[in-house]
Amino acid sequence: MITVTRPYFPERQNFDRYVDAIFERRWLTNHGPLEQELTKRLETYLGVKNLLLVSNGTLALQIAYRALGIARMPGLYEPAEVITTPFTFIATASSLKWEGMQPVFTDIDPATLCLDPANIDAAITPRTRAIAPVHVFGNACDVEAIDALGEARGLKVIYDGAHAFGATYRGRSLLSYGDASTLSFHATKLFHSIEGGAIIFKRKEDLERARKMINFGITGPECIEELGINAKMNEFQAAMGLCVLDEIEVNLESRALVWHAYAQALRGNVQLQTRRIGASLNYAYFPVILESESVLLDVMQRLEQEGFMARRYFCPSLESLAFLGRPAAEHQEEDFSTPRIFHSKDIASRILCLPLYAGLEVSEILAAVRIVVDRHVKAA
Ligand SMILES: *Cc1c(COP(=O)(O)O)cnc(C)c1O
C-alpha cells in the first residue's frame, strides 16, 4: 500500500554515532549538547534567529501564545479571541481553545487556501488579541497584508508554519514574519525529529521568556520564576533531527521529482493550489481539488483499489466543530457553520492529498495520476 506520507528514515550508522555519544555523555534531556547543536544548525539552514526547540508542534503553538502574552486577558471575563483559519489541521485551533482562548474563524482565499486578509478586519472585536494564520501546504500567506494589519490594529501575529519547513518568500525565510512562527517536526512531516517542534520569535526577549516556560518556569536551583510547563526536546529527538537534517537535500530532491511529475500530469486537468508569487516550493504536500465531494469519494475508492491511500487534508472545515465554538452557544444548539465561511467548507469537501514522500518513485504514482485525470475527463 502506498500511503499519503511515510516517515523519513536517515542512515542507521549516522544515527548510531549520535546514540553512542549520548550513552557516553549520559545526558538525555534538559538543553543537552545535541539540542543545542540542532538549534544552531536549524537557524543556519532556515536563515532565522531566535529559534527555540520544543517537544512537539502543538506545544510550540501553546508556548508561542503564552510567551507573547495573548493567552490571558486581564480584567475581562470573556476569553481573548484569536482570528484563525478553518482550513488547517485541528491543532492550530484546538491549541487556542486549550489555552482558554476563543478561535474566531474567517474564510480562506479559494485559490491559495490561506486565510484571506480581506476577511480579518470585520472579525476584530475589543477582545481580539491576535491573528493565527497557517502557511497551508507550505504556501505563503499574504504576510505583508497580515503583518501590516496586526501592526495597525495592535494584534500579535503567530504563523503556524508546520508545513513551511525551509520555505522562503521573496528570498527571505517565510518563518521570519509575524511576532512568531511555529514548526512541527512530527514523524510524518517533511523534516522531523520523531516528535518535535520549534518556535521562531521576532524578538529575543520573547524567546527568553519561552525558554523559561518550557522548563516549568525554573531559572535556578531554588528559583521558580513564573508559571511554566514541560515542553523540552530530548537528546534522542535532537539526534534524529540532526540525522534527518544531514540528508535534507536528498529528501527534497526525491520529493521534488514526484511533485513535478504530479504537477506536469495534472495541471490543466484538475484544480491545484495557487502558490503565491514569491513563495518557494518545499514539496511537502500535493493537494488536488476535485469537482465535487462525490467525485472525490469515487477517486478515493478507485485509488484504494489500486493500492493508494490518499488523505482528505483538511476535512472537516474546523468551524463545524461545536467543541471549538463559544461555550454559551454550545447549549443553544446553534449552527456554528457561520455563513461567513464558504470557501473553506467548499474546499474541505473536495480536496485530496496524493501520496508524496522521499523514496516514492515517479513510476509508482502513474496509476494514481491516471485515475485522477480519467475521473476528471468523465466528470467534464
Ligand atoms: C502537524 C501540524 C501541527 C501539530 O504538530 P505536532 O508536532 O503533531 O504536534 C500543527 N499545525 C499544523 C498545520 C500541522 O500540520
Q: Following DSSP, what letter does each residue of 336-365 receive, concatenated?
A: ---TT--HHHHHHTTEEEPP--TT--HHHH
How many structural domains are present in the chain? 2
91 lines ligand 1 (CB under 6 A): yes
Residue 161, in any domain of the structure: yes
242 and 299 co-located in one domain: no
* Residue 273 near ligand 1, beta carbon < 6 Å: no
Residue 247 C-alpha cell reads as 540528508
Q: Which pLDDT score is estimated for 74?
A: 64
* Residue 380, pLDDT score: 59
What is residue 327's predicted lDDT score, i.e. its pLDDT?
74
- Ranges under pLDDT 70 in the chain: 73-76, 328-339, 376-380
CA–CA dist 146, 137 (Å, integer): 18
Tell whether 218 is covered by a domain: yes
Contacts of 267 (CB under 8 A, 6+ apart): none
Q: What is the reported pLDDT for 280?
A: 97
Query: 241 with 253, same domain?
Result: no
What is the whole-number distance in angstroms between the Cα of residue 218 and the centre of ligand 1? 27
Cell of 20: 553512542
SS3 197: strand
Q: Do residues 26 and 92 both lie within one domain?
A: yes
How many other CB atoms are there within 10 angstroms of residue 125's CB atom? 10
Q: What DSSP assignment string belongs to 126-157?
A: TTEEEEE-B-GGGPPP-HHHHHHHHHHHT-EE
Indicate if 237 and 314 belong to the same structural domain.
no
Gyration radius from the chain CA atoms:
21
In a domain, 157, yes or no: yes
Amino acid 176: pLDDT: 98
CATH of the domain at 364: 3.90.1150.10
* CA pair distance 35, 159, nearest whole angstrom: 23
Domain finish residue from 246, 271, 304: 246
**Span from the CA of 311 to the centroid of ligand 1 (angstroms):** 16
Say whether both 275 and 200 belong to one domain.
Answer: no
Range(s) of the domain holding residue 288: 248-379
* Ligand 1 atom closest to the CA of 188, numbered from 1: 1
User: How far apart (Å, rounded) are the C-alpha atoms in residues 353 and 355?
Assistant: 7
Which residue in the list 49, 97, 156, 189 is annotated as catalytic?
189
Q: Residue 373 falls within a domain, yes or no?
A: yes
Kindly state if the Cβ of 164 falls inside 6 Å of ligand 1: no
Which residues touch 93 (CB under 8 Å, ≥6 apart)?
84, 86, 103, 105, 318, 321, 324
Shared-domain flag, residues 222 and 82: yes
Both 270 and 366 in a single domain? yes
Residues 210 and 64 sit within 8 Å (Cβ to Cβ): yes
pLDDT in tens, 296-318: 999 999 999 999 999 999 999 99
Asked if 230 and 304 sit in the same domain, the reply is no
Please identify, among 214, 246, 278, the residue that sits at the C-terminal boundary of a domain: 246
Assess whether 345 carries a catalytic annotation: no
Are 311 and 337 found together in one domain?
yes
- Could you identify the residue written with the cell 516550493? 281
**CATH number of the domain residue 180 falls in:** 3.40.640.10
Best residue for ligand 1 mutational test, from 54, 89, 185 (most atoms within 8 Å of Cβ)? 89
Q: Are 319 and 338 in contact (CB under 8 A)?
A: yes
C-alpha 220 – ligand 1 centre gap (Å):
32
Q: Which of 139, 186, 191, 199 to mutate to test the pocket of ligand 1 (most atoms within 8 A of CB)?
A: 186
User: Does residue 253 sit within a domain?
Assistant: yes
pTM: 0.96
Instruction: Please report whether residue 219 resides in a domain.
Output: yes
Q: Which residue has the cell 516517515?
A: 7
Nearest protein Cα to ligand 1, atom 5: 57
- State the distance from the centre of ligand 1 to the C-alpha of 58, rounded, in angstroms: 6
CA 210 to ligand 1 center in whole angstroms:
19
pLDDT tens for residues 313-352?
999 999 999 999 987 654 444 444 456 899 999 999 999 9
Asked if 256 and 238 sit in the same domain, the reply is no
Does 6 fall in a domain? no
Number of Cβ within a 10 Å radius of residue 346 = 17
Atom of ligand 1 nearest to the CA of 59: 9
Q: Which atom of ligand 1 is nearest to the CA of 196?
A: 7
Number of helices (H), then strands (E), belonging to the chain: the values are: 12, 14
Is there an atom of ligand 1 within 6 Å of 162 CB?
A: yes
Cα–Cα nearest to 69, from 216, 203, 244: 203
Q: What is the position in ligand 1's atom list of the atom closest to the CA of 134?
A: 13
Same domain flag for 274 and 328: yes
What is the structure's pLDDT at 175?
98
